[in-house]
Structure 1
Amino acid sequence: MPANLDDTDHRLLELLQHDSGRTLAALGELVGLSPSAVQRRIDRYRANGLLLREIAVLDPSPVLLAVCLVTLDQESPETHTRFREWVLAAPEVQQFYNVSGEHDYVVVLATTDMRHHRETAERVIKNAPHLRRYSTMFVLDPVRTTLTVPTRGN
């Protein structure tokens, strides 16, 4: 987070992360600013690259989520680049993390049903370049999902 954010910026960013569909007037009421002042701050967040985009968040309950733990067979930059490009080409990849520890990557797949999952796992994970092994865990109950990031420490 940029160091030059004040308390109003932090509050406004928190509000936007929870519901960016609020009107400028409603946001202004909650942070004590006029609608035009709120708009100027939002424009500044966009210009500085802090606010990347505004999206619609759909209910994930009808979606089958699977967490795949992936280990590659080599540790070269080229291996990782090729694997990343392969996985990123799939629209079913909801989240994708390079991690430390026993595995190299965590890939979260979002599919419509088990048939779709099998096809996607085969195409995206099993046939990926430089795959040594992978394991899959299906999400039974998404206890907490969020897209928010903290704007400041405690």
Structure 2
Amino acid sequence: MDNLDRRIIDQLRQNSRAAYGDIGGVIGLSASAVKRRVDRLMADGVIRGFTIHVDPSVEGLETEAYVELFCRGTVAPDELRRLLEGVPDVVDAGTVSGSADAIVHMRSHNIASLEDALEAVRNAPNVDHTRTSIVMSRLIYRQ
């Protein structure tokens, strides 16, 4: 992957529906050269797919929280994944260093549905407790 590939990816991140000719005009390549590079990046697995990002508020998911998850004993990441995949309000999660075992990003319709989702997590066999921070306003959001 070279600098032209990186610039193509930057353009696609800004607008994945951009025409190859438009991308080429920005980075100095022909539309066909951009297409060949995009095809190669896809074949190599660098680009995994194209998607849309819908404003969560349009779907009624206006309540957002970050939840620190604390487990009893040692819990394998695969076990945490299985637990969290079963809670639809979980949009992102990862194991972390520090005192918490995982950090979980949740989006819910309202406080009551967030509370229900948190209860589903808290009632899991190896979960000791959680610490929740509700997002008041989003300052920066990058994909």
- Provide TM-score, normalisation by structure 1: 0.83
Correspondence 1:8-87 to 2 at 5 A: 8-61=4-57, 63-77=62-76, 80-87=77-84
**Count of matched residue positions in the alignment of Structure 1 and Structure 2:** 140
Q: Does the residue aligned with 2:140 lie in a helix, a strand or coil?
A: coil
Gap runs ≥5 in structure 2: none
Specify the code of the residue in structure 1 equivalent to 2:65.
A
Whole-angstrom CA distance in 1 between matches of 2:125 and 2:24: 50
What's the offset of the Cα at 1:118?
1.4
Return the match for 2:95 from 91, 98, 114.
98
Structure 1 residues 130 and 120, CA gap change in structure 2 (3 angstroms): same
**Per-residue Cα deviation, 1:88-125 (whole angstroms, up to 9, x for no partner):** 233321110110011110000011111221122122x1
Whole-angstrom CA distance in 2 between matches of 1:127 and 1:66: 18
Q: Does the residue aligned with 2:115 lie in a helix, a strand or coil?
A: helix
Return the match for 1:107 from 104, 109, 112.
104
Provide the alpha-carbon RMSD of the alignment: 1.5
What's the offset of the Cα at 1:57?
1.1
Q: Which runs of 4+ in 1 moved over 3 A?
A: none
Structure 1 residues 25 and 32, CA gap change in structure 2 (3 angstroms): same
- Provide TM-score, normalisation by structure 2: 0.89
What's the offset of the Cα at 1:64?
1.2
Q: Does 1:137 align with 2:136?
A: no
Structure 1 residues 49 and 129, CA gap change in structure 2 (3 angstroms): farther
CA contact (8 A) 2:122 2:128 kept: no
Whole-angstrom CA distance in 1 between matches of 2:69 and 2:4: 42
**Per-residue Cα deviation, 1:46-74 (whole angstroms, up to 9, x for no partner):** 11111122111122456211100011112
Whole-angstrom CA distance in 2 between matches of 1:116 and 1:76: 26
Gap runs ≥5 in structure 1: 148-154
Of all paired residues, the percent bearing the same amino acid is 26
What's the offset of the Cα at 1:76?
4.5
